[in-house]
Amino acid sequence: MNKLIEFKQVSKQYQVGEVKIKALDGVDFLINEGEFVVILGASGAGKSTILNILGGMDTATAGQVFVGGQDITRFKDRQLTAYRGEQVGFVFQFYNLIPNLNALENVEFATEVCSDHLDAKRILDQVGLRDRARSFPSQLSGGEQQRVAIARAVAKNPLLLLCDEPTGALDYVTGKSVLKLLQDLNRDTKKCVVLVTHNTAIAPIADKVIKVRSGRIESVTINTNKQSIEGIEW
Ligand SMILES: Nc1ncnc2c1ncn2[C@@H]1O[C@H](COP(=O)(O)OP(=O)(O)OP(=O)(O)O)[C@@H](O)[C@H]1O
C-alpha cells in the first residue's frame, strides 16, 4: 500500500499568557492510501490538534507533516488555503452548515472552489438525502444534517476526509448509521478517512488505530480483522 500521510516528530505548543501548553510532543505515525484510521484518546490528549494540523487549520511548532509526498508544514499561506479548500474534507461534531442555504446549496457552495469536484445532487443521493435536497438545516434532524456535512466534504473529491467526533452530538442509532456511511464511503471511494473519537468501542471498524495520550503516541495498531459497524455495540 502507498504511504499517504506521515507525521515526523510533530510538536505543538500553545502559549496562553505566561503558560506554555504542550499539546503534541514528538508525534510520529504513518497512514496509507485508502485506510480508515481511528485516532483514539481521552479528552485533552491532543487528537483534535493532530487533525487540525493534518487539515491545514493549525500549524505545527516543530516537525514535518507529509501529505501525498509534500511537506505541508513548509506551505505558504496561499498553498495552505488551497490545500485546505481542495484536498481536505472536514466533518465536525456540530455539522457547521450554513443556515440560510438548503442542503443542496450547502454542498454546492463548498465545491465551488474545487476544480475536480463531484456532482452535488449525486452525492446527496448517495448519503440518502435525495428527497431532502431543498430542506434547510433547521428542517433536518441532527443525523440528516451530519449526512449533508459528509456530502459536502465528499463532494469536494478531497484526498482525505477528516472527521472530528462526527457522532458526538447524535443518539446511538443515528451515530451508528453515520459511521456506517463513513465506512461505506471509505470502502466504495477508497478515500482515506481519519476519524477522531474518545469512544474506544469504535476502534474495531478501523484499519489502523492510533492511540494518543498526553500529546504523545501511545500505540499504533493494525486491525487484521476489521469489523463492520453493524457488528459492534457500545
Ligand atoms: N487554541 C488553544 N490554546 C491553548 N491550548 C489549547 C488550544 N487548543 C488545544 N489546547 C490544549 O492542547 C491540549 C490538546 O487539545 P486537543 O483539543 O487536541 O485535545 P483532544 O484530545 O482533541 O480533546 P477533546 O476530546 O476534549 O476534544 C489540551 O490540553 C488543550 O487544552
Of all protein residues, the one whose alpha carbon is nearest to atom 2 of ligand 1 is 14
pLDDT tens, position by position, 192-228: 999 999 999 999 999 999 999 999 999 999 999 999 9
What pLDDT is attached to residue 231? 86
What pLDDT is attached to residue 165? 95
Asked if residue 24 has its Cβ within 6 Å of ligand 1, the reply is no
Task: List strands edge to edge, sheet with 70-71.
Answer: 19-32, 3-16, 62-67, 70-71
Question: What are the chain's domains?
Answer: 33-62+77-231 (3.40.50.300)
What pLDDT is attached to residue 158? 94
Task: Kindly give, in sequence order, each residue whose CB lies less than 8 Å from that of residue 229, ignoring residues fewer than 6 positions away.
Answer: 176, 179, 180, 183, 205
Asked if residue 47 has its Cβ within 6 Å of ligand 1, the reply is yes
What pLDDT is attached to residue 115? 85
**DSSP assignment of 25-92:** EEEEEEEETT-EEEEE--TTSSHHHHHHHHTTSS--SEEEEEETTEEGGG--HHHHHHHHHHHEEEE-
What pLDDT is attached to residue 204? 95
Probe target for ligand 1 pocket from 40, 47, 216, with the most ligand atoms within 8 Å of CB:
47
Asked if residue 43 has its Cβ within 6 Å of ligand 1, the reply is yes
User: Quick check: ipTM above 0.90?
Assistant: yes
What pLDDT is attached to residue 216? 98
Q: Which regions of the chain are under pLDDT 50?
A: none
Q: Specify the amino acid at residue 159.
A: L
What pLDDT is attached to residue 38? 98
Of all protein residues, the one whose alpha carbon is nearest to atom 12 of ligand 1 is 23
Of all protein residues, the one whose alpha carbon is nearest to atom 31 of ligand 1 is 44
What pLDDT is attached to residue 112? 87
Of all protein residues, the one whose alpha carbon is nearest to atom 26 of ligand 1 is 43
Q: What element of type H or E holds 150?
A: helix 142-155
Distance 158 CA to ligand 1 centre (A): 26
What pLDDT is attached to residue 1? 76
**CA nearest to 60, candidates 82, 27, 17:** 27
pLDDT tens, position by position, 144-164: 999 999 999 999 999 999 999
